[in-house]
Chains A and B, each alone.
Chain A
Amino acid sequence: MKTLLSRRYRFAASHRLHNAKFTADENRRLYGKCNNPYGHGHNYVVEVTLTGPVDAATGMIANLGELDPFVEREVVDAFDHKYLNEEVAEFQARVPTTENVAREIFRRLKPFPAAKLERVRIEETSKNSFEFSGDGPEAET
């Protein structure tokens, strides 16, 4: 039996799905209304899951007193109330789909020192969610 700890955080941000390599028509066809040049936004929920031994002295996998400020600094402060395409450097060259946002958040949180990052799961809306566990060939990109 393995124990995991999950904590949910929120940020609100705008984005636009657009790839400069495609024609205007291709972009509209591929991304539909998400290609609107003025952008649109979501209330994102980020579910961060950690694993590791439960410390017998504290009963914890990770102390929220350490995890919360780490996630706030690395993700929430960087993403909240921002236009992802222009204000988060990684999305200047990569389309800010929630798949890519999940990978970027995983990359930012992986260095958390107190426990192993098991997965990042993002709800872009209450109807769709995206998970990344750091596996697969794209993990290093």
Chain B
Amino acid sequence: MIRITRKVEFSAAHFYHNPSFSAEENRRVFGKCNNPRGHGHNYVLEVTVAGEPDPETGMVLDLKELKEILQREIVERMDHRHLNYEVPELAGKIPTCENIAAVIWQLLEPRIKQGKLDRVRLYESPDLFADCVADGASSNGHGATGVRA
């Protein structure tokens, strides 16, 4: 099996606030991420697709096609947006790295027709990232060893 990985970047604003918490609880749990005016990140997204190369083309999935899927489904939806207000898939969820990665997984999985979505890795900063991995897939650090976002 071969794994191929494509990287894209988007920049977006967010803040963390749970309306069922008191103002004091929100500050305690979320710290400076609770600032209601929001703040932003340059997110780096790495998407890995696993499969066997087609014997005719030598490709698991045409990277150009993967690039177009990422542009259409993720970048156009999230780039230069406020994740709390402008991305319906995140409505009612705290837009943490974990939740954004899971939404990206759900958006991409049905669009990958050749090979299977193996891993979504979303860097909020070079030192913080969330992975969503296929059930039963190895959760090791493949694909980004030593690579800084």
The distance from the CB of A139 to the nearest CB of chain B, in whole angstroms, is 16
| Total CB contacts across the A-B interface at under 8 A | 84
Q: Is B140 an interface residue (CB 8 A)?
A: yes
Whole-angstrom distance from the CB of A23 to the nearest CB of chain B?
35
With beta carbons under 8 angstroms apart, the residue of A6, A60, A133 that contacts B96 is: A60
What separation, in Å, do the CA atoms of A73 and B145 have in the docked complex? 26
Binary A-proximity of B130-149 (CB < 8 A = 1, otherwise 0) = 11111100011100011000
Q: A7 — which chain B residues lie within 8 A by C-beta?
A: 127-128
The tally of residues in B whose CB lies under 8 Å from a CB in A reads: 32
B18 within 8 A of A: yes
Interface residues of A (CB under 8 A from B): 1-9, 47, 49, 51, 54, 57-61, 63-65, 118-119, 121, 123, 126-127, 129, 131, 133
A58 near B131 with CB under 8 A, answer no
Inter-subunit contact A8/B94 (CB<8 Å): no
B residues engaging A (CB < 8 A)?
16, 18, 20-21, 29-31, 93-99, 101-102, 105, 126-135, 139-141, 145-146
A54 close to B146 (CB less than 8 A): no
Q: Is the CB of B96 within 8 A of A57?
A: no
Smallest distance from the beta carbon of A49 to chain B beta carbons, Å? 8
CB of A3 within 8 A of CB of B131, answer yes
Question: How far, in Å, is B80 (CB) from chain A's closest CB?
Answer: 22
- Nearest CB in chain B to that of A5: its residue: B130
By the criterion CB–CB under 8 Å, are B18 and A57 in contact? yes
